[in-house]
Amino acid sequence: MDTYRETIHNINWSDLLQQISTILSRDAKALESNVNYYMKLFNDSNTDKTKLNNIFEKLQLEKLRHAYFSELFIRLEEANYKMMIMSLESCIQQETEIQNRTPKDWVATIRFEDGKIRVYFMALSYYQ
């Protein structure tokens, strides 16, 4: 069984993407079950047409929602974006360890140098 955290602010990028993947997979299975239920009702001649239409509209919205979130997830999984975000997280964590406080405001520059992603990080202010 999958365990989900109520708060996600302290979860790292890789774990967050894994959680999203699990949720999207579960949603895809639920969507498939709902489509099968709709098809069962669609083939039943005694089904209320208003109920069938409402289920159809709900399914269309669920399919669109799933398509959008799946596409967003696929784009976030792109290696360069993933490396940039993980590098930023690492910079924030290192700065927190060095200063014993978390940066509140910061500036980062991300550059591609010699085929590698380099992150230059500067904290501007800190949480007290």
pLDDT of residue 1: 57
What does DSSP assign to residue 4?
Answer: -
Token pair of 90 as six digits: 């690492």
pLDDT of residue 56: 92
Q: What is the pTM of this model?
A: 0.63
Distance set, CA 118 to CA 5, 32, 89, 94, 115 (Å): 31, 42, 13, 15, 9
Contacts of 121 (CB under 8 A, 6+ apart): 88, 91, 92, 95, 106, 107, 108
**pLDDT single digits (tens) 50-64:** 989 999 999 999 999
Q: Give residue 6's pLDDT band: very low, low, confident or very high (50, 70, 90).
A: low
User: Measured between alpha carbons, how far is 119 from 90 in angstroms, rounded to an integer?
Assistant: 10
pLDDT of residue 109: 93
Token pair of 93 as six digits: 């964590």
**pLDDT single digits (tens) 101-125:** 888 898 999 998 888 888 999 988 8
**pLDDT single digits (tens) 36-94:** 999 999 898 888 889 899 999 999 999 999 999 999 888 887 878 888 888 898 998 99
* DSSP notation for 9-70: TT--HHHHHHHHHHHHHHHHHHHHHHHHHHHHHHH-TTS-HHHHHHHHHHHHHHHHHHHHHH
What does DSSP assign to residue 101?
Answer: S
